[in-house]
Structure 1
Amino acid sequence: MASVVDAERRFEFPNILISVHSPSSSASCPPPPPSSSSSSSPPSFSPSTASASSSSSSSPSGKSEVVARFSADGDAIRLRFHQGNDDVVVEFDLGSSQILALSPTESICIDNFHSNKLKRSYSRAVTMTFRTEEESQSFHQAFEQWKCAGGESGAGTYYAAVIENRVDFQDRIVVDVGAGSGILSLFAAQAGAKHVYAIEASDMVDYARQLISGNPLLEQRITVVKGKVEEVELPEKADILISEPMGTLLVNERMLESYVIARDRFLTSDGKMFPTLGRIHMAPFSDEYLYVEIANKALFWQQNNYYGVDLTPLYGSAFKGYFAQPVVDAFDPRLLVAPAVFHTLDFSRMKEEDLYEIDIPLHFVASVGTRVHGLACWFDVLFDGSSVQRWLTTAPGAPTTHWYQLRCVLSQPLYVMAGQEITGQLHLVAHNAQSYTMHLTMTTKMWGAGAEQGGVIQMSSGKMDLKEPYYRMSQPQPYAWVQDQQPHQLMQSQCEQETALLSQDVSSSGVISTQGSGP
């Protein structure tokens, strides 16, 4: 990684006003009800000025004018805010940091750090307010791409997939779809590509040019093209498409549609796609802590005398609104109560229209008796190279990526016994906010002797907006495993699942559903 992104080849964001929040400056406030007009999902900062103002315990004025720099220090990717004579005001290790959008033009960056002096760990944050939504989007995209570049679970996997499959790239024409900072284009050039066309529609294209120009031996074989893949024209067909089109739950941000369009427009009939296919994994889960946490958010609206105002008329809407937010976090895989199933999207065969609506039937057999609080989801993608097949997984228990996992929490839990069937449907409908509305239904059936004569005895459903998740900052809880089912019995090994997948015939539509355990 250091050969491509090092301390001398860094992104800078000058003239930013920031507010640094220490642990003592945080305050607890009652949560407002979720609003469909606000955006909780991180969009993607351009080389222009951003400002931020808020109370700060670490700066007398509450504001600091700084230069923000993304850079690589060995294997670590860092975001530093420099002031004056290059003094570092605060720095974040992107491996343990998260960035959240508070509004379309305001964001907060949070990380955990350990104080050797106090021998305790704390969280700290920097608040930034951008002049335009486009600046905010560009900064978010830079943050995620540099964060991805720091770990084996992100660009490290891409790098390995490309370099280990040099035979697929040597003297070939490559198109990088949604190139962002241009890192993947540089990987392709390193692998011996004859020429790489890096297509990027946002202002990140300026950073791609900056990064690529900082690598002159590779620059001569890379052309940066600003525009949408649906509109740009290229002088030749591509042998390889490379991209990072994945969002939360694989499909959020709807970048997969552009990836498929690029395939139809630019790829030769026998060309390859990196990644080649993706799988959405799903399993029912039980998490009393999470359920109570979400339900308790609505308690604020049960007050009938809040400064003389009766808030109870909004309680029902608030309760429903909190459960309409899918939860994005990292959870303990021992919370799963049945083996996972997965739904496969074959990028090399599927049509763009297949992504407008995604219908996934659900069928599980509970391994333990417990309360089911909803459906847990994650994804993985396959780089099907000629020499080596590489998987990038976001599974619970695997190294955490910036995609985390996602859980749909039902407002009405289901009660199950070991051996009882759980059925249902997950229906995703694309919408104009570059995301999906999620319709989840889960039911339980009679179990035991005579179950075939029984019917559905419980049903619970929910409607969630993938664009408006609840980014949960807590770490996975150290749950004790008290049931008689061991984790390895609930989840097959990644290797076994990959072998099973590669041996099956994929339908001509490129979309299949498979019953099996998640990695």
Structure 2
Amino acid sequence: MLKDVVRTKTYQNAIYQNAFIFKNKVVLDVGAGTGILSLFCAKAGAKHVYAVECSLMADMAKEIVQTNGLSNVITVLKGKIEDIELPIDRVDVIISEWMGYFLLFENMLNTVLYARDKWLIDDGIILPDKASLYLTAIEDAEYKEDKIEFWNSVYGFDMSCIKKQAMAEPLVDVVDQNQIVTNCLLLKTMDISKMTAGDMSFTVPFKLMAERNDFIHALVAYFDVAFTRCHKLMGFSTGPRSKATHWKQTVLYLEDVLTICEGEVLSGSMSVEPNKKNPRDIEIMLRYSLNGKRCQISRTQYYKMR
């Protein structure tokens, strides 16, 4: 992730170019990893940074902080946010890189919200503070053939029973922007400073209009992240028309190959909710219909990211 230049440089620029947010402030870094965001905050003039990391990487983060002579500014705490106690009652700023694939898969948003409610001062700042989920549709015959239709004949044997399982598992991969068939639609925006954990479950309608005559094999989801509390709006996109990030895009293959003409609309709704047994996994229900000149279809599909 450190080599993800889009991700890391955006955070660095948001911090360094907005030092007024951090100058003489107490900062909480949620899910600190190597501590890179904490190091940025310290260099921007933070009074103190509490870097919380629950994995073994916390030990390396402590060594990295010490090696860079910032032990007097950064305190690394090993453990889960929900289990630790900070040596102070409140923090001025919370910073975190909490996003997962499809924005919400294996994410740490619940943890950030917990930290916000427990430690952030009333007029405190969360960075980043906005995240938006988008949807588009693509032609992807070659890859679908390789990933899904492969099971129809495996060395001469019918293994098509596996297709249903393969269809239900979204693919995380980089999508070529030339594959995009429709417009890109904003599905959902989350305001991290105000939302609740329940807002991670939602149902939203969509209408995707074809921009050319083509086939549709899959829907593609991606997200944007914004730092709106900066002097000027900053952020990045994980979309197929932007520079690739380690999040890539999430591809939801459709059971049917849809034939769509320019101007026709693929409509439906998408429901997203955390898995009840493991909230870091997510379940997606997709309803879609197309009543075009060459194709009429209406279907419901279910996906699980786990």
Fold shared by both chains (TM-score > 0.5): yes
Alpha-carbon distance, 1:215 to partner = 1.1
Q: Aligned residue for 2:283?
A: 437
Alignment partner of 2:301 out of 462, 465, 469: 462
2:196 maps to a residue whose letter is K
Q: Aligned residue for 1:396?
A: 240
CA distance in 2, matches of 1:215, 1:322: 47
Q: Is the 8 A contact 1:301 1:318 kept in 2?
A: no
Q: Aligned residue for 2:184?
A: 340
Q: Aligned residue for 1:366?
A: 210
Q: Aligned residue for 1:4?
A: none
3-state SS of the aligned residue for 2:117? helix
| CA root-mean-square deviation | 1.8
CA distance in 2, matches of 1:361, 1:380: 19
CA distance in 2, matches of 1:151, 1:428: 27
Alignment partner of 1:221 out of 73, 81, 97: 73
CA distance in 2, matches of 1:326, 1:292: 15
Q: Is the 8 A contact 1:179 1:200 kept in 2?
A: yes
Q: Is the 8 A contact 1:170 1:192 kept in 2?
A: yes
3-state SS of the aligned residue for 1:219? coil
Q: Is the 8 A contact 2:218 2:254 kept in 1?
A: yes
Alignment partner of 2:83 out of 231, 243, 246: 231
Alignment partner of 2:140 out of 263, 287, 300: 287
Q: Aligned residue for 2:61?
A: 208
Q: Is the 8 A contact 2:216 2:259 kept in 1?
A: yes
Q: Aligned residue for 2:199?
A: 354
Matched pairs, number: 301
2:80 maps to a residue whose letter is K
Alignment of 1:130-279 (within 5 A): 148-216=1-69, 218-234=70-86, 235-279=88-132
2:39 maps to a residue whose letter is L
% identity of equivalent residues:
30
| Structure 1 segments of 4+ aligned residues over 4 angstroms from their partners | none
3-state SS of the aligned residue for 2:225? strand
Q: Deviations over 1:97-155 (max 9, x none)?
A: xxxxxxxxxxxxxxxxxxxxxxxxxxxxxxxxxxxxxxxxxxxxxxxxxxx32343021
CA distance in 2, matches of 1:271, 1:226: 24
Q: Is the 8 A contact 1:198 1:222 kept in 2?
A: yes
Alignment of 1:58-137 (within 5 A): none
Alignment of 1:48-63 (within 5 A): none
CA distance in 2, matches of 1:393, 1:299: 37
Q: Aligned residue for 1:428?
A: 272
Q: Is the 8 A contact 1:327 1:408 kept in 2?
A: yes
CA distance in 2, matches of 1:221, 1:302: 61
Q: Is the 8 A contact 2:260 2:292 kept in 1?
A: no
Q: Is the 8 A contact 2:24 2:47 kept in 1?
A: yes
Alpha-carbon distance, 1:429 to partner = 2.1
CA distance in 1, matches of 2:229, 2:75: 24
Q: Is the 8 A contact 2:152 2:160 kept in 1?
A: no
Gaps of 5+ in 1: 1-147, 305-311, 448-455, 468-519
Name which structure has the greater RCO, CA cutoff 8 Å, separation 6+: 2
Q: Is the 8 A contact 1:167 1:386 kept in 2?
A: no
Q: Is the 8 A contact 1:174 1:240 kept in 2?
A: yes
The alignment's TM-score, normalised by the length of structure 2, stands at 0.93
2:189 maps to a residue whose letter is T
CA distance in 2, matches of 1:303, 1:463: 29
Q: Is the 8 A contact 1:238 1:268 kept in 2?
A: yes
1:178 maps to a residue whose letter is G
The structure whose Rg is larger is 1
Alpha-carbon distance, 1:190 to partner = 0.6
CA distance in 2, matches of 1:166, 1:272: 13
CA distance in 2, matches of 1:391, 1:251: 18
Alpha-carbon distance, 1:344 to partner = 0.7
Alpha-carbon distance, 1:200 to partner = 1.2
Alpha-carbon distance, 1:368 to partner = 1.6
1:445 maps to a residue whose letter is N
2:91 maps to a residue whose letter is A
3-state SS of the aligned residue for 1:408? strand
